[in-house]
Structure formats: structure tokens, C-alpha cells
Structure 1
Amino acid sequence: MQSASSSVREARRVLANRLRELVRDAGLDGKDLAALCGWHPSKVSRISTAKTQPSEEDIRSWCRACGAEDQAADLIASLRVAEGAWLTWRRLERAGLKRSQEERLPLYQRTRRFRSYSVWALPGLLQTHQYTEDVLRAIQRQRMTVDDVAGAVAARMERTRVLREGQRVFAFLIEEPVLRNTLSNPEAQEEQLGHLVTLSSLPNVSIGVVPVARQRPQLPVENFWIYDNTQVNVELVSGYLTLTQPSEVRAYADTYTRLAGMAVYGEQARALIREARDSLT
């Protein structure tokens, strides 16, 4: 999946180009560089063609060999951008679920226009305390040994304050089966769906439900968030993708527009939510 993102590929390509320029500027070739670094020439070739991503120490050695140690810090920063575009869940959550929840808060605070699409669970900003606990508990059991679910729930609940603070607008698209998919017991799910009805009445919140249909112009896709028009985050089975390349942001915005055109809103959406809630009993 890492190679599937053109944002990741582009970041790696740019880094490789900059490393090749250092070699040229130093009047060296690949064999010279390999000898100075103590590497096999094939390693230089793989790094310079973006087939292999260098380590931070590789970049430091490369810069020393080229007499460009002053550029090492900037190139390492570029490496971290390339690495940060794709994060496995294990890496993202290595310090615990609480930390991963807290680290996303600044992004929410600086965003003014949110668009969210959900195909398997309700988005975090719309979740009740119990629903959040049940979802994060399931994640913790599947992926982690550290149990900091209580702290992670508190952090996510703190994040929901952005719904009512500042001049922000929110548009949520939810596939209808999400209203019935749950990791919670019936009582917690009933509370969650009632909360969803309440939030749908906020003036700055739009909740659209995409009804189940036999034919549709846009098939369901993976869960994603669009932050203003600058960043998209995509949740995949294997990890968390951050996209900032304008063409990819536009692609997700266009997909969102097609999905939004299939959704129902207002009282029609609330009717589907209530129908799901009533089915619990």
C-alpha cells in the first residue's frame, strides 16, 4: 500500500533527485560516492533512483562524502516527510492510543472546513463516550498490548469541542449500514444514534446518509477526512495515509462531491437514523 500513493512516491523522488544533485555538484559519480561511504555501488544506484529509501545515517554519510554536511539536516527533514506520508498503525500507535489521539488535535484546531466520509464506523467527532470506548477497546485488543483506552477516550472527547468552538463548518457523509454496524451493546448504540440526531440540528453541522441502493454512480471507498483544501487523511486496514499533493486532495474532494450527491439530509437523514435506532428494539 505504501507504493500506491503518488504523494509518497513523489516525496521519495524529490529526495532522490536532491541527493543526485549533491553528487554532481561535488564532481563525483556513483562509484566514487560508494567508495567514500564504504558501500556497494548498487546501494548508491538504488537510493539515487528512489528504489530504496535511505536512512538518516545514509543521508549524513552521503552529505559528508559530497562535502555538503550543511545540507544534511534539510535532507533528513525531507526524508521524514516522505516517511510521514504513510504510517502503519503499529508505528502511529507505538506510544499508545492516547498519544495518537492527542497528536491529531492541532490539525483539528487549525482547520475551518471539515469533510468526512465513513463506511464502517461513525466519525470520532460524532461519537458518544461509550461508543468511543467500545471502538477504541476493540482497536486496542486487535493491535496493542498497552491499555490506555481510558486516556484515549478522554482525549477524543476533548477533541469534540471543536464542533462548538470557533467559526468551523462540518460535513459528514455516512453510509447507511454504518448506522447498524456497531461494536457496542444495543443500549450504547441507541444512545449513539440519538446523539447523532441531536448533532444533526447544529447550524454548522451537516450530516448526510448515503442510502443503501442497488445502483449508484459511486461505489463506497475507504474512510477519509478532508481538512480545508490542504490535506486528506485516509484510514486503511494496514495504516494511515496523509495526502497533501493538490491533485490527490482534489481527487478525494471530487469523490466526496459525488458521494454527497447521493446522500439524504435533514429530516430524511434523521428518519434513517431513527429507523436504525428503532430496529434495535
Structure 2
Amino acid sequence: MTSSTPWQQRLSTGTEDIQDEVIGWYQQTRHGKAYVPNMIWGTVQTEAYATVVLSRVVDFLGVPDDVPAGVAKRMERQQVLYDGEHRYDVVLGEQALYTNVGGSLVMCEQLERLLREMDLPSLGLGILPADAEFGIVPMPGFNMGEDRAHYELVSCGVDITDVDELALHHKAFDALSGAARYGDSARSLINKALAFWSNT
């Protein structure tokens, strides 16, 4: 089954309520997966980076501006990385390290945080190099829990719950993670991006 809800409807009261909903999903998801090709995964975003992202959402969609409350909830959601009960396997596209969110100071702080967090036992962080070859066609980013895959599109969020479709998402994630770099190789790609932003 596939369902979608327009962002204006989901964000009709601002960003805090939906961030609270995401916290619940992450707390229930013992083993999650995420592929994020163009930006930093929300659960490792810095406060400054998240503020820019949610501010752009509010401006673009014209929804109520409660960005500080939404950011506070996004920071609260990150506790799943430290409670010892959850595991998240995340593949970031190399482009995510270069997409300009807030300028060089925000980007440097964000990449430094990635370098600190990538060794957490709860986090398997891979970077998919821009020149990587992998066995599927390019696709938009998605998040997966045990019972659904979630896409964030321009106009709406889409949830997929069909078992066969979820199996294809797991297969796609395996192909992406198989082509990604981990450990020192991932760290090298992040450091390269950090050097870029430090000199911008």
C-alpha cells in the first residue's frame, strides 16, 4: 500500500508536530535505514543546519513559522543514537557534503559533527562517492523502518507499506550501501569536503 499526505496539510500547525511524529517513528524503529543523496540525514544534523533546513521549508510552503520549536524536536529525536537500543544504517551521497545549507560556517560545523558521530555503535555511516557505480538506476532518498519506507517529495510525504515493495527497497539499499565507502575511506571523503568549506 502507498499513501501520501500534502505537506501543507501535515504542516498546517508548523514544524513541531510533525517532528514530534518523527520522534515516535524513530523510537519505534529498532533498525532503520536511510539513503540521503543531497543533504545531511536529519538525525545527525547540527542545530544550525536544521534551522536553515526548516526555515526553508516554512518559507517555501508558507506554513506557520515555529522553526525554533521544530528544531528543538529534531534535536530531541537524535537521542535514539545514544540510548543503546537503536541501530541506523545511513548512506549519504557525496553531494550531501557539498550542498550549501547555510554557508561555510554551518557546513564546517556539520561536517565536523559527522566526523565525531560516525564511530557511534548505533550508526553505520557510508558515503556514496559521486563516481560510484552501483547496480540500480539513480533514485530519490528514502528512510526505512521495519514496516514502511518514507519519501519526502516536493509537495507531499509518501509512505510505502506493501511487503513486496519494501523488499525492493531493502534490495536497493543493499546495492547503495555496497557501493558506499565506510570507515577511513568515508572519513577521507568528509575531510575533503571539510577542507573545501574551510577554504570557501
Scaled to the shorter chain, the TM-score interval is over 0.9
2:55–2:67: 8 Å Cα contact kept in structure 1? yes
User: Residue 218 of structure 1 aligns with which residue?
Assistant: 136
Cα contact 1:116–1:225 (8 A) shared by 2: yes
* Runs of 5+ unmatched residues, structure 2: none
> Residue 239 of structure 1 corresponds to which residue in structure 2?
156
Query: What's the offset of the Cα at 1:150?
Result: 0.6
Classify 1:215/1:171 alpha carbon distance in 2 versus 1 (closer, same or farther; 3 Å).
Answer: closer
Partners of 2:145 and 2:81 lie apart in 1 by 14
Bigger strand share: 2
Match of 1:176 among 94, 109, 115: 94
Correspondence for 2:189: 272
d(CA) in 2 for partners of 1:118, 1:214: 15
CA RMSD of aligned residues (A): 1.3
How far residue 110 of structure 1 moved from its aligned partner, in angstroms, is: 1.2
1:116 aligned partner, one-letter code: A
Q: Which has the higher contact order (CA 8 A, sep 6+)?
A: 2
Letter in 2 for 1:185: G
What SS does the aligned partner of 1:213 have? coil
- Is 2:167 the partner of 1:250? yes
| Cα displacement (A) at 1:186 | 0.4
Q: Which amino acid aligns with 2:40?
A: L
- The question of 1:147 aligning with 2:65 is answered yes
Deviation (angstroms), 1:242:
1.0
Task: Note the alpha carbon deviations across 1:165-184, whole angstroms, 9 max, x for none.
Answer: 14211111001011000221
Check conservation: 1:132, 1:153, Cα contact below 8 A: yes
Aligned-pair distance for 1:145? 3.9
Residue 190 of structure 1 corresponds to: 108
Q: Distance in 2 between matches of 1:238 and 1:146?
A: 16
Check whether the contact 1:119–1:220 (CA below 8 A) recurs between aligned residues.
no
Q: Using the TM superposition, give the Cα deviation of residue 218 of structure 1 relative to its aligned residue in structure 2, in angstroms.
A: 2.4
Shift of the alpha carbon at 1:90? 1.1
Unaligned 5+ residue runs, structure 1?
A: 1-6, 9-84
Instruction: Give distance in 1, aligned partners of 2:43 and 2:191.
Output: 20
Q: Number of residues paired by the alignment?
A: 198
Match in the other structure for 1:130:
48
Contact 2:8–2:63 (8 Å) recurs in 1: no
Deviation string 1:168-222 (CA, Å, 9 cap, x unpaired) is 1111100101100022120110000000011101122111000011744223311
What is the rounded CA distance, in whole Å, between the counterparts of 1:207 and 1:266 in structure 2? 8
Select the structure that is richer in helix.
Answer: 1
Equivalent position of 1:19 in the other structure:
none
| Counterpart position of 2:23 | 105
Report the Cα distance in structure 2 between the residues aligned to 1:121 and 1:250, rounded to whole angstroms: 25
* Residues in 2 aligned to 1:206 and 1:149: alpha-carbon distance in whole angstroms: 29
2:5 aligned residue = 87
1:263 is matched with 180
Alpha-carbon spacing, 1:245–1:153, altered in 2? closer, same or farther (3 Å):
same
- Separation in 2 of the partners of 1:214 and 1:255? 15
Q: Which runs of 4+ in 1 moved over 6 A?
A: none
CA contact (8 A) 1:121 1:178 kept: yes
- Supply the distance in 1 between the matched residues of 2:136 and 2:127 (Cα, whole angstroms): 14
Task: Determine which structure has more spread, i.e. the larger CA radius of gyration.
Answer: 1
Deviation at 1:247, TM superposition (A): 0.7
User: How high is the sequence identity, in percent, across the aligned residues?
Assistant: 28
Kept in 2: contact 1:223–1:236 (CA 8 A): no
